[in-house]
Structure 1
Amino acid sequence: MELAKKAAELERQGRHIIHMGIGEPDFTAAAPVVEAATRAMAAGKMQYTSATGVPALREAIAAHYQTVYGLDISPSRIIVTAGASAALLLACAALVERDAEVLMPDPSYPCNRHFVAAFEGKARMIPSGPEQRFQLSEKMVREHWTPATRGVLLASPSNPTGTSIAHDELRKIVAAVRERDGFTIVDEIYQGLIYEGAPFSALSLGDDVIVINSFSKYFNMTGWRLGWLVVP
């Protein structure tokens, strides 16, 4: 984050900077998206919506899971948020108690540990190297789980490493957490940017898995700050 600030300052000074660290696509939202937003605003559709999001959008997200992953996700499980960060904050508000530990790999997206801390929880960062593809494994979850641990926070594909958790390994992690009556949160914001293998979502592993996603990366809508949370 500090490097990003420094790069922005250099750009203001007229320097040409090649960005290789921030998850920003090099093109913007598709024309049909912009046109639909323009039509909605022209029609005056700018009032308060349901707190969980416009019903038609929640239904469209549910349809996306059916089309891409073959999953039947009820729209009632989908909460539209102001970006993926707001989705994770909501999840932490509901699940993280004072001094509760949340396991996550190190490296992870830097903000995640602070979201846990915002609700007086403790992010327990578990060093993960190339042997583990910079991800947690079932073995690591079992070894590092303590009486204070309440759940795990994963990202697949990961930010900053770009690695994914193998499907079978993720299934084992979810099972290990479930045995301990914990929660599993999976950030899938980079789903859709995997170029080999069949599409896969952690939601296929059970209705108790919590998933975070966003329109930012796959749909090239970073500035829209539009995300969602799938809850049990």
Structure 2
Amino acid sequence: MSNRWFLYDALLDSVPDTALVKSFTCGKHWLMVETDSGGIGMAQYFPPAPGASDSAQSCHDMVGQPLRRIAEKIKSWDFNAASIGLAALNAANNTLALVEPSPLRTALDNRHGDAFDFFLSEAKGKKVTVVGHFPGLGRLRQHCELSILERQPQPGDLPDTAAEYILPQQDLVFITGTTFINKTITRLLELSANAKVYMVGPSTPMNPLLFSHGVRSLSGLVVVDAEKMSASLKNDNCEAIFGHGGQKVNMVAESCH
């Protein structure tokens, strides 16, 4: 494949040229971008490399800037900056400001809840890999042959470099949305061509165009209360966002037809 940026470019086309950044919040684990048109997007906070400046600390420079300009940071090899870009991209996609009928609105009404519970029946008895060590995977392990790929492996995990060997043999693959930040998403989709692929986590761009590129469902986060969410970002608990302003939602390809 000659253009490795095709997914990024397609998603960036979803960002309106007229939208401006209204506010930016940086927490211990998550970033949030809010637009002047009511869009709100989240992404995982990637700390800067040792000795590098923290892009998130220049938040005052982002307010009033075109959302598209900030979203383009997603293509940066500075993952700290790329995480801000993904939050901005998600502000154009993962939002209750979508007042017109949409697949996301339908999913919010009918398909909310945790992704691993939502797709548990699909995983039973299958070979399943989760890219990224999510909380609560023990319940999934009870029902399938589970492998967890992680850049910073915990006990029982495999290093993420095992993807080349593991993914082509899987039935189901759950991929964290943060793979857009570290630029592994394109290769992971290639390796998972024989599997059903589900993208999961608050960093997931809830845009149906991903269904045309091998993804069966998008399980992400919609911010329903920006004020509560902003306050929860300061919490040391990584899961705090789900009980304070955020709603988990599952958008499956079939609901878009």
- Tell me the TM-score range normalised by the shorter chain: 0.3 to 0.5
TM-score by length of 1: 0.45
Larger proportion of strand: 2
TM-score by length of 2: 0.42
